[in-house]
Structure 1
């Protein structure tokens, strides 16, 4: 197994001790500096790292996911990083009453992962609900955090504000600890996140530190049970939905990876633009037009301003035609691979079963370490 504890030195001295400070300017700058160090080291020593990321199977993956995270996962995998991808099916019920179609959505996620280039021989893909030892870590981890800390978490606060008086579930309140268990069970030491997600990762760092202070081996001069994971910050392209609003599966304003070329063309044809026929790249003043130009840029590798100059006064119709062609051409191999995978459900089941089995082995070993540290081994 790859040595997950060997990492480049962290000059910040950050221990994750102060959750309240995790969004401060100083803390953010430390995270930015640390992320840059890791990004540079990944190119030289990829075997030092185990990366975990994942998705909730609440809908089908779309271009926002593709450009925001999926391509980066493939890049890390291809560098030689030990890559883990979680299908967070248990997390669907943190804020939802039903799990309608969840099995279909889990396999849809898996199909998308494989079609974009995630390789199950190099990446462990697993479902949260299929790893009992992972979820058992929740009990000792919950003893390490306070009610007040959980309620300060940005996701929990947002959910509380959005409930309209509806009581928040205990599962939602403990959502940050779920994430800590997801990351720590396999001893991931790097997690790709945006800057707005740093408080979530800080909660995980706090859990790791407190566990070792209370139960671990660090006080005896040994290595900690859990590494404190670092953030790998990435600049996610700010893609809007086809209606000019935030891209969201619930809004129906996305271009899903599973769409056909014709369905993609229809979605782009309906995309909101503006009345100015001359096409320019101006994200502040013309966000809808600029969003289409950004999409063209991401799929062709060209500068969006150059694309705008090429179209000039030909209008939004010409822009949409160019974007449609670029998106469909870019996604053609992904769609071909997806169509092939959809004809072989047995292979999808085999891939997920293998990933689940590997995750269970690792989780069982981690739980054994936890029990030993807590002196709860009785036989």
Structure 2
């Protein structure tokens, strides 16, 4: 019951924030990002990237963190990390994130950000960290023989990611609300103990559309069932041709009764800007073959400008390095300023 009440309150607050964003976008600074564990797919695009680009176009200040240190929370080694970071930057730029208007940076390059973890950890208890739903879930499903200490500090580290730049808005899904609530708790406790310095960031609930993978299960990098943003038109067509449907010829949009078919319908609708019910009705008795052809055409047309941007940026590795270098410099300036303010408030500047 408490969770439902909290989610409802967050939804109401998100609606209020959307109105304020349209009225005064310059009042908001957004922190968002991803772990570099592999290429991003259409689920990521419609779930988060599309919203980031929307906020950027509205005039909100956008900081995008590539959380390379956090790859180690549930892995023994950070495999092919440099390649994953490179491809993640390409995915961001291809999706429309503008490096002239947004700050793209890496976790490991901002030392002052990571130094904030120590005072922040002093503000939370082990039990608070251990009962965080994401931490509990990751520990339960970990493939490791034992989880690292970094797993327990993950929520506090995420708080440092948000608070180092004094972000006041964080786009999240409902499952991430406990993380953000702990960030708000850390900010509030710091302010109570040392004086008002850190904002308590608001959650901007982002309703991510439910897109299944081509096998009918959750779309995932690791399951081989996702259409990557970097996929070619032919690869995209092949993956969609192999997507799971059902035995009914007539196409309808019914996510509960027909999840696989409905996911394909929704994907085409998102790419074309149509209502999924109308799109399904248009296909009607055309069957799975017509549906898959429709989806393939819609996806490839939607991805065409992204593929062109990706190819242009990929052709100039020096420009990519420059974008990341500039983003890291900007993030370092913000982090060092906040760390110095934190040290002054705590009396640890000697």
CA-CA distance at 1:358 after TM superposition? 0.4
Choose which of 17, 24, 35 in structure 1 pairs with 2:14: 35
CA-CA distance at 1:164 after TM superposition? 6.8
User: How far, CA to CA, are the matches of 2:320 and 2:311 in structure 1?
Assistant: 13
Matched, 1:69 2:41: no
Matched, 1:45 2:24: yes
CA-CA distance at 1:87 after TM superposition? 0.3
**Alignment-derived partner of residue 238 in structure 1:** 210
Choose which of 232, 249, 254 in structure 2 pairs with 1:260: 232
Unpaired runs of 5+ residues, structure 2, are none
For the residue of structure 1 that corresponds to 2:222, the secondary structure is helix
Matches within 5 A, 1:15-164: 24-163=3-142
For the residue of structure 2 that corresponds to 1:226, the secondary structure is coil
**Alignment-derived partner of residue 327 in structure 2:** 355
After superposition, the CA RMSD in angstroms is 1.2
**Alignment-derived partner of residue 8 in structure 1:** none
For the residue of structure 1 that corresponds to 2:320, the secondary structure is helix
TM-score, normalization by structure 2: 0.98
Q: Contact 2:169/2:203 (CA < 8 Å) preserved in 1?
A: yes
**Alignment-derived partner of residue 376 in structure 1:** 348
**Alignment-derived partner of residue 340 in structure 1:** 312
**Alignment-derived partner of residue 256 in structure 2:** 284
**Alignment-derived partner of residue 339 in structure 2:** 367
Q: Contact 2:113/2:160 (CA < 8 Å) preserved in 1?
A: yes
For the residue of structure 2 that corresponds to 1:263, the secondary structure is helix
Q: Contact 2:74/2:142 (CA < 8 Å) preserved in 1?
A: no
Choose which of 296, 299, 305 in structure 2 pairs with 1:324: 296
Matched, 1:212 2:191: yes
Matches within 5 A, 1:175-254: 175-215=154-194, 217=195, 224-254=196-226
Choose which of 145, 150, 155 in structure 2 pairs with 1:171: 150
Q: How many pairs does the alignment contain?
A: 350
CA-CA distance at 1:307 after TM superposition? 1.6
User: How far, CA to CA, are the matches of 1:25 and 1:83 in structure 2?
Assistant: 29
**Alignment-derived partner of residue 220 in structure 1:** none
**Alignment-derived partner of residue 313 in structure 1:** 285
TM-score, normalization by structure 1: 0.91
